[in-house]
Structure 1
């Protein structure tokens, strides 16, 4: 094929780094623990009963998973109750948080972004992928910009064929 008819990938030649934020999503099963199940009549925390139910937790069910502890009952639970469950599971889980599934995802993405090495993007043009088949908390995009703004040459959001310029340094 002659050079005048050669097809060139201008995006690949541009030095643009495509970054998919979903690549930072920690892999592993997510499991919730509802404190309501540990309460007497799903309403009252009786310490002795609570401790027995915590002791009966099969820790193997939570091995290498990400756990969120929440309370769907309309009752006040003392903070030590969260301590007991966390102490029971912390040796087998990857992470335990208080809150719902969405809270867990925000914390996991926060940790992933804070610990990721973005040095390969220093002084580069970076395009953050706009669409993903995985759910990404909005806060992750905010934290990503905080990390990238001081180091990248330019930052864009979207796809190579249609992107939104965010900043130029």
Structure 2
């Protein structure tokens, strides 16, 4: 009689791999540096003043952080200015990129997908989780499909109870 009412997890028995792309998001603080704050009157780069301000950066504030460097001022900034900021933070920050927070997240996810070992999914049915409490750049899903298409048996998007078939090999 007990066997008649046995609860079985058919999803677990199906051999389906549930993959949550949010698990690839690197953990750590995201911090921005606006070059406007290093400019004279937020408009002009004076090399001596700029170098002094860069030298005064407390690198410990950026330890193990992901840093994006941008310029919100309507000023032309020479490329070497980005070099100086990057050189100052390279030994403490985990990653430094040019652009805004969105650019940083795209690059971080690109790196994570590029470096992830997907071999466990070879020849398997894979379901990429559709809902997440973390914001995932759309480009990450594109890159994920590029990585998985040649190796998976089938790829789906969504939840186990309600998914969208993407491809079958």
Q: Counterpart in 2 of 1:54?
A: 54
User: In structure 2, how many angstroms separate the alpha carbons of the residues matched to 1:8 and 1:132?
Assistant: 26
Provide Cα deviations, 1:122-145, integer angstroms capped at 9, x if missing partner. 000000000000000000000000
Give the 3-state SS of the residue equivalent to 1:128 in structure 2.
strand
Give the 3-state SS of the residue equivalent to 2:151 in structure 1.
coil
Give the 3-state SS of the residue equivalent to 2:105 in structure 1.
helix
Q: Counterpart in 1 of 2:91?
A: 91
Q: Counterpart in 2 of 1:165?
A: 165
Provide Cα deviations, 1:110-164, integer angstroms capped at 9, x if missing partner. 0000000000000000000000000000000000000000000000000000000
User: In structure 1, how many angstroms separate the alpha carbons of the residues matched to 2:59 and 2:80?
Assistant: 19
Q: Counterpart in 1 of 2:73?
A: 73
Paired residues, number: 169
TM-score of the aligned structures, taking structure 2 as reference length: 0.99
For residue 7 of structure 1, report the CA deviation from its aligned partner: 1.7
Q: Does 1:13 align with 2:4?
A: no
User: In structure 2, how many angstroms separate the alpha carbons of the residues matched to 1:33 and 1:62?
Assistant: 10
Q: Counterpart in 2 of 1:120?
A: 120
Provide Cα deviations, 1:33-82, integer angstroms capped at 9, x if missing partner. 00000000000001010000001001111111000000000111000000
User: In structure 2, how many angstroms separate the alpha carbons of the residues matched to 1:114 and 1:39?
Assistant: 37
For residue 2 of structure 1, report the CA deviation from its aligned partner: 2.8
User: In structure 1, how many angstroms separate the alpha carbons of the residues matched to 2:71 and 2:49?
Assistant: 17
User: In structure 2, how many angstroms separate the alpha carbons of the residues matched to 1:36 and 1:13?
Assistant: 57
* Structure 1 unaligned regions, length at least 5: none
User: In structure 2, how many angstroms separate the alpha carbons of the residues matched to 1:2 and 1:139?
Assistant: 49
State the superposition RMSD in angstroms.
Answer: 0.7
Q: How does 1:127-166 map to 2 (within 5 A)?
A: 127-166=127-166
Give the 3-state SS of the residue equivalent to 1:36 in structure 2.
helix
User: In structure 2, how many angstroms separate the alpha carbons of the residues matched to 1:136 and 1:92?
Assistant: 25
Q: How does 1:16-27 map to 2 (within 5 A)?
A: 16-27=16-27
For residue 6 of structure 1, report the CA deviation from its aligned partner: 1.6
